[in-house]
A = this chain, B = another copy of it.
Amino acid sequence: MTEKKKTTQDMSFEILKTSSTSKARLGRITTAHGVIETPAFMPDATRGAVQTISSLQLADTKTSALVSNTLHLYLKPGSELIRSQGGLHQFMHWDKPILTDGGGFQIYSLIHRSSLKGKINAEGMTFQSPLDGSMHTLTPEKSQEIQFDLGSDIKMAFDDCIHADQDKQRNLESVELTTQWSRRAKEKFGAMSNELGVESLIYAIVQGGNDREMRKKSFEELNEIGFDGFAYGGWPIDAEGQFMEDIIGYTASLMPDDKPKYAMGIGTPDDIRKGVELGYDLFDCVLPTRNARHGHLYTSEGILRVKNGEFKDDNRPIDPVCDCTACVNYSRAYIRHLINIDEPLGKSLCTIHNLRYYARMMEDIREQLAIT
């Protein structure tokens, strides 16, 4: 690498304006692959692609950054392979910012939501691959190595995710492990940044479940280590599916205002709007893309379930005010037909629409913040 070696302190997060009526802020995160105007939503390109659409089609939705998954890419096609291709940006032909998760949440999901084996100890997480049953161990250091292989602009520290309903003992253990792992991640990040002369950012994930005391402990320990940004970790919705505004807002209030605040896994358009008012700058969620694949579409007039019989001969676009490729060229009737016959093109058009809806929503949010 011939790039000039830079430290993370060269990276900037700039607040352009703060709302007078809420904690919302208009900002700008500068990365090695350009600027993310915040508040911003980042779709999930889990395995190196936003399902059913290309990076060119994603760019057409005016999406400014994406999230990809350390664990999934490590398992397939392998992070060394992606490094050999010049990193994930070059591999998937996407020249805007990429954030990669640490892998902790994905392993937690594998272990707790499937019959796969796994265990957590101080060293890291050991888990069984859902692809071939082989056993793997991810540590805070290994997670950073993979993220450096991928060449992401924003790297996440390795965390121990728990469910919101866990008892205090397990919650405390999760907070303490997350602190230890984040410290090791930060050290590895620093060493690799120096060694490779790469400029990127590292954010830490605040754990603590639905317990203010634990959230405070988690944040303060992480803040002492020092990170470029902080994320709300764990589950953002309760057992009833309600947005946990109290703890999410409290966690944001702990974070320093001069650093980006990232609401992981959030969310619905309403929850993102709430998150913005609570002070969060970054959001990611599988909802718009997953819903798209089921024909569940976001529009200016609410949710449109395109499979519904009422749309069978409806020649209007999904949303007449939308400027996406799907809305400009195709009708509800055609897209309904495609979704009904399980044609991938239907999923692709719906994904393009939902991501353009989210991108326009964020544009509107930023515009409102700019003028009020």
Which residues of A pack against B, CB within 8 Å?
47-49, 51-56, 76-77, 81, 84-86, 91-93, 312-313, 315, 325, 329-331, 333-334, 336-338, 340-341, 343-345, 347-349
Contacts and interface: CB of A to CB of B under 8 A. Distances in A.
Contact of A312 (B54, B81, B336): B81
Given A315-B85, A331-B91, A349-B54, A340 B77 contact: yes
Contacts of A325: 54, 56
A329 B47 contact: no
A347 B344 contact: yes
A345 B293 CA distance: 13
Contacts of A337: 47-48, 76-77, 91
A51 B345 CA distance: 7
Nearest to A78: B312
A84 B345 contact: no
A84 B313 contact: yes
25 contacts: A47-B337, A47-B341, A49-B338, A49-B343, A51-B343, A52-B345, A52-B348, A54-B325, A54-B349, A56-B325, A56-B329, A76-B337, A76-B340, A76-B341, A77-B312, A77-B333, A81-B312, A85-B331, A86-B315, A91-B331, A91-B333, A91-B334, A93-B330, A344-B344, A344-B348
Ranked 4 nearest A-B pairs via Cβ: A344-B344, A77-B337, A52-B344, A93-B329
A47 B92 contact: no
A318 to B, nearest CB: 14
Which of A86, A336, A344: most chain B CB closer than 10 A?
A344
